[in-house]
């Protein structure tokens, strides 16, 4: 802009911009506070250029203005940092009130004992609060709603402190992207820039080259750090819980979606006032046409009776709590939906399975939902079988769950107190088509010999016999399942100490994924079937077993795994000898099936040492 800003450079764009500033009556504070001081400095291409490019403009005068141009800083740009400070005419809005977040270990509520302590403690406190509220209702003065709300929240706080305890909030990690080496590279760039500005002659060219090298090193360091953090983020998504991964992706997607906001420089109160005035103007009716159809008046023949004693019912409160979203940040009262559900909401899904009679199609839908969840756990395709995995984890099918819950419901119905409502209604239930008689047709309930006097021990025996019968029927129909443990319970290969690779091999062997699809064996005699890989690796001879042992030498040893630490020295010595050999056999089988992969490193790490350390000395 030439002499207007004390700049020696004059361009057509600058002249047009100056004419626009003068035509609109804007104030350029570079002219008044930093006349002749360039904001653009370039020393590349063997020439030094400077100009006033970065400008501060305003439509009104400022109070106590001052401007500072930081020509001593490089910051990796030819444009220098310009600071303009002034005193605002309107005082800034007050800072928002900070409510320290109160946090509890809510995950402990999943434990039945902890949940019972929380419910009992909260119920005792809420009973006292109910008495106080009833006393206020009987009086003519209005009840102190704020104090009652505070007392209700404090009752929840005390119950949570007693049951689960509080936890301290996590401190945010600052400067996680900016490590020490990157800061050192930045400091070196700034020092080289200072030397270049204060040097002269030939030394100025040398310092400029060093400054360019330092800038290039900073760019490379930033790019390298970006790649490192991106890999760390991807690895975290791949290894952490699937629910956390989906929550992270959902949060990233929501942050990228821009939403319109209304902000006023005067602060939140000014925002609310302006929005209220705008809405009052819109809905005041001044924009409605002069001629409109008449209002439709609804005539009520009789007054509506309103119960003024309590406007809320138990069902309305329960419905409102059910609609509360979970895993959401609380308000100023620090209460979340997870704190209210155990007190007011009954486990309706469990009761729904217990008292409902499903047809074959509905049971198939529930089985499909459970199988989909299980396949997400072990990474199976859409049609892979889940029977082996359910047996390994002792997970019943949905049909078995429905029958078991229905059996428990019927059993408990006969042990209700005499004054219970269902006990009084049971003698009058004579219609065979009633839901109660359908529940009485439960096969587990019918298997009891003395149903009226059955105790809890007999019920547990009947339930376990029913599950064992289902397991026996499935073992007779599935070859892989027949090779697993013949009893109910979690398979020890899921919890015994071993490396991830060892556990993966045993689980894949049980599920038939190892050896998997038959392919030519490395011996050249046969394909990699289960029978052949056992013979090819000499498993029976290495384990000192007969080749005819049932179901096969590997599953025979796996079915003998201890359910607790062996106290017998003979059993302890057996596993000290057998376990490393079995781990080596499984590694050899995987090497046969993955002929193109080198597993030599696993031979030194996957020796079953974790299991041997678990055994008593």
Measured N-to-C along each axis, helices 360-378 and 398-413 cross at an angle, to the nearest 10 degrees, of 120
Is 592 in contact with 552 (CB distance < 8 Å)? no
The residue among 450, 482, 514 that closes a domain is 482
**Distance from C-alpha of 125 to C-alpha of 76, rounded to nearest angstrom:** 63
The answer to the question of residue 605 being in a domain is: yes
Handedness of CA 430, 435, 436, 438 (dihedral sign): positive
- Kindly state whether residues 502 and 609 are assigned to the same domain: yes
Question: Which residue is listed with tokens 């993955």?
Answer: 594
pLDDT of amino acid 308: 46
- Kindly state whether residues 371 and 457 are assigned to the same domain: yes
- Kindly state whether residues 439 and 543 are assigned to the same domain: no
pTM of the predicted model, to two decimals? 0.47
Burial of 374 (0-12, 13-18, 19+ CB in 10 A): middle
DSSP string, 577-596: HHHHHHHHHHHHHHHHH-TT
- Kindly state whether residues 464 and 551 are assigned to the same domain: no
**Distance from C-alpha of 345 to C-alpha of 338, rounded to nearest angstrom:** 10
Instruction: Report how many domains make up the chain.
Output: 5
- Kindly state whether residues 527 and 583 are assigned to the same domain: yes
- Kindly state whether residues 531 and 594 are assigned to the same domain: yes
pLDDT of amino acid 95: 66
- Kindly state whether residues 475 and 354 are assigned to the same domain: yes
**Distance from C-alpha of 170 to C-alpha of 252, rounded to nearest angstrom:** 21
The answer to the question of residue 281 being in a domain is: no
pLDDT of amino acid 507: 92
Measured N-to-C along each axis, helices 398-413 and 456-477 cross at an angle, to the nearest 10 degrees, of 160
In this structure, the chain runs to a length of: 617
Q: By C-alpha distance, which of 494, 496, 497, 498 is closest to 606?
A: 498
The residue among 419, 450, 482 that closes a domain is 482
**Encoded tokens for 591:** 């090497």
Question: Which residue is listed with tokens 């930093």?
Answer: 34
**Encoded tokens for 74:** 């490089």
Task: Enter the DSSP assignment of 176.
Answer: S
Range of the domain at 188: 180-243
The answer to the question of residue 284 being in a domain is: no
The residue among 218, 243, 268 that closes a domain is 243
Q: Could you give the residue ranges of the DSSP H alpha helices within 139-168?
A: 145-163
Quote the distance between the C-alpha of residue 546 and its chain's center.
50
Beta-carbon contacts of 563 under 8 Å, excluding residues fewer than 6 positions away, are 489, 492
The answer to the question of residue 490 being in a domain is: no
- Kindly state whether residues 467 and 365 are assigned to the same domain: yes
Question: Which residue is listed with tokens 């050896």?
Answer: 515
**Distance from C-alpha of 515 to C-alpha of 380, rounded to nearest angstrom:** 16
pLDDT of amino acid 302: 38
Residues of the chain short of pLDDT 50, as ranges, are 296-308, 346
The answer to the question of residue 395 being in a domain is: yes
- Kindly state whether residues 354 and 388 are assigned to the same domain: yes
Q: What value, to the nearest 5°, has the Cα angle with vertex 431 and ends 426 and 434?
A: 75
- Kindly state whether residues 466 and 505 are assigned to the same domain: no
Across the strands, what pairs with 49?
42
Q: By C-alpha distance, which of 398, 396, 410, 401 is closest to 438?
A: 410
The answer to the question of residue 270 being in a domain is: no
Task: Count Cα atoms within 13 angstroms, Cβ side, for 277.
Answer: 5
**Encoded tokens for 288:** 């409605």
- Kindly state whether residues 107 and 164 are assigned to the same domain: yes
Torsion of CA 353, 354, 357, 360, to 10 degrees: 50
**Phi, psi angle pair for 18, to nearest 5°:** -65, -40
Per 3-state DSSP, what percentage of the chain is helix, strand, and coil (rounded to 5)? 55, 5, 40
The answer to the question of residue 295 being in a domain is: no
pLDDT of amino acid 76: 77
The answer to the question of residue 286 being in a domain is: no
**Encoded tokens for 492:** 């020890």
Q: What value, to the nearest 5°, has the Cα angle with vertex 345 and ends 413 and 459?
A: 30
Measured N-to-C along each axis, helices 337-344 and 112-138 cross at an angle, to the nearest 10 degrees, of 80
pLDDT of amino acid 173: 60
- Kindly state whether residues 359 and 477 are assigned to the same domain: yes
């Amino acid at each position: 802009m030439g002499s207007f800003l004390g700049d020696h450079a004059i361009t057509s764009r600058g002249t047009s911009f100056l004419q626009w500033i003068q035509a609109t009556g804007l104030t350029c504070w570079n002219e008044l506070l930093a006349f002749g001081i360039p904001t653009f400095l370039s020393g590349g291409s063997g020439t030094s250029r400077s100009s006033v490019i970065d400008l501060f403009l305003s439509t009104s005068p400022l109070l106590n203005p001052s401007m500072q141009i930081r020509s001593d800083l490089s910051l990796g740009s030819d444009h220098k940092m310009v600071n303009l400070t002034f005193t605002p005419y309107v005082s800034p809005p007050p800072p928002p009130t900070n409510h320290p977040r109160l946090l509890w270990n809510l995950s402990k509520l999943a434990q039945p004992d902890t949940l019972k302590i929380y419910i009992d403690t909260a119920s005792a406190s809420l009973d006292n609060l109910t008495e106080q509220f009833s006393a206020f209702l009987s009086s003519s003065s209005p009840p102190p709603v704020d104090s009652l709300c505070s007392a209700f929240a404090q009752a929840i706080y005390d119950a949570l402190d007693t049951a689960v305890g509080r936890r301290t909030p996590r401190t945010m990690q600052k400067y996680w992207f900016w490590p020490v080496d990157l800061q050192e590279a930045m400091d070196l760039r700034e020092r080289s820039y200072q030397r270049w500005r204060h040097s002269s002659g030939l030394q100025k060219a040398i310092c400029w080259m060093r400054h360019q090298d330092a800038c290039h090193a900073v760019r490379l360091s930033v790019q390298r750090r970006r790649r490192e953090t991106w890999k760390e983020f991807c690895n975290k998504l791949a290894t952490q819980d699937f629910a956390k991964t989906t929550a992270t992706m959902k949060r990233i997607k929501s942050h990228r979606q821009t939403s319109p906001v209304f902000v006023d420089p005067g602060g939140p109160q000014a925002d609310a006032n302006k929005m209220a005035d705008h809405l009052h103007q819109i809905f005041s009716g001044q924009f409605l046409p002069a001629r409109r159809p008449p209002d439709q008046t609804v005539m009520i023949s009789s007054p509506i009776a309103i119960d003024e004693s309590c406007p809320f019912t138990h069902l309305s409160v329960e419905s409102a709590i059910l609609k509360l979203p979970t895993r959401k940040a609380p308000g100023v009262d620090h209460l979340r939906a997870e704190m209210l559900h155990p007190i007011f909401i009954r486990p309706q899904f469990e009761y729904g399975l217990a008292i409902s009679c499903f047809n074959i199609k509905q049971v198939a839908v529930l089985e499909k939902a459970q199988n989909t969840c299980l396949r997400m756990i072990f990474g199976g395709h859409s049609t892979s079988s889940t029977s082996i995995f359910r047996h390994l984890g002792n997970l019943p099918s949905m049909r078995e769950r429905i029958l078991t819950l229905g059996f428990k419901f019927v059993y408990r119905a006969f042990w209700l107190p005499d004054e219970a409502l269902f006990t009084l209604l049971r003698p009058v239930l004579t219609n065979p088509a009633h839901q109660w008689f359908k529940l009485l047709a439960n096969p587990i309930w019918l298997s009891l010999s003395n149903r009226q006097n059955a105790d809890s021990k007999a019920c547990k025996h009947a339930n376990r016999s029913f599950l064992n019968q289902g397991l026996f029927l499935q073992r007779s129909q599935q070859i892989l399942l027949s090779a697993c443990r013949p009893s109910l319970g979690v398979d020890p290969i899921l919890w015994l100490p071993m490396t991830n690779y060892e556990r993966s091999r045993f689980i894949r062997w049980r599920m038939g994924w190892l050896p998997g699809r038959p392919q030519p064996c490395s011996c050249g005699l046969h394909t990699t079937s289960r029978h052949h890989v056992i013979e090819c690796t000499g498993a029976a001879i290495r384990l000192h077993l007969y080749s005819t042992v049932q179901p096969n030498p590997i599953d025979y040893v796996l079915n003998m795994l201890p359910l607790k630490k062996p106290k017998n020295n003979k059993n302890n010595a057996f596993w000290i000898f057998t376990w490393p050999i079995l781990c080596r056999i499984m590694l050899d089988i995987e090497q046969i099936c993955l002929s193109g992969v080198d597993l030599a490193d696993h031979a030194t790490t996957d020796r079953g040492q974790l299991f041997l350390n678990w055994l008593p000395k």
